[in-house]
Structure 1
């Protein structure tokens, strides 16, 4: 999850570097990306800053912006680490399988929803993750 990776990155910054990072959020950074007004993040901690970034730009663009800002801050180690870990994290997402729901239907136990792995694109490069819901109803049992 990009938010967790961004949070880890911001938590590793010393306090002054975190404040500097937030200052850069309110500056012109990448073409087509509106800065986040300082009033929106002035008192935000690391978790609130990540939430604000991902809601404003979407996960992928928030990571791209964070890397850009870290490079501006000359924190090449953090920028490189984030650049390396983000694609690794995306490759590690397991694909959903319907075999677990069919096996639980055969045993009579309620089917659990598989983890949300399907995504669809939204505006501004945001990503919406929605669970896949499978409902198995035994008509003979419900008719009684």
Structure 2
């Protein structure tokens, strides 16, 4: 799982869902175990800037986990599923191709 998968996931959000996504990143109590990101840092960010901020704040594994949590909160379980498949499915696919 890399930053490019996170970017692809955020790019699949509509404008309203992306705004909600960033709102949850700003809420101190919404991401148990993870710090919030200040509103001023997120206010004018686009998808790739948001991914960069999340990786800087949470490191890559944390950014993936935070993305999953927020996607669940905004009821985008389709993207949660796809994110889970891309993070665990890459290894499985290469093993399946060899068989």
Q: TM-score, normalised by structure 2?
A: 0.85
Q: TM-score, normalised by structure 1?
A: 0.59
1:46 corresponds to = 47
Query: Which blocks of at least 5 consecutive residues in structure 1 are unaligned?
Result: 93-144
> For the residues of structure 2 that align with 1:30 and 1:43, how far apart are their CA atoms?
21
Structure with more strand by fraction: 1
Task: Write out the 4+ residue segments of structure 1 that deviate beyond 6 Å after TM superposition.
Answer: none
Query: Which blocks of at least 5 consecutive residues in structure 2 are unaligned?
Result: 93-99
> For the residues of structure 1 that align with 2:43 and 2:31, how far apart are their CA atoms?
21
Instruction: Give the match's secondary structure for 2:23.
Output: helix
> For the residues of structure 2 that align with 1:54 and 1:88, how far apart are their CA atoms?
22
1:53-106 deviations in whole A, cap 9, x for unaligned? 0111011110111010000001110111111211234x38xxxxxxxxxxxxxx
CA-based RMSD of the aligned residues comes to 1.4
* Corresponding residue pairs, total: 91
| Structure of greater Rg | 1
Higher RCO structure (Cα 8 Å, ≥6 apart): 2
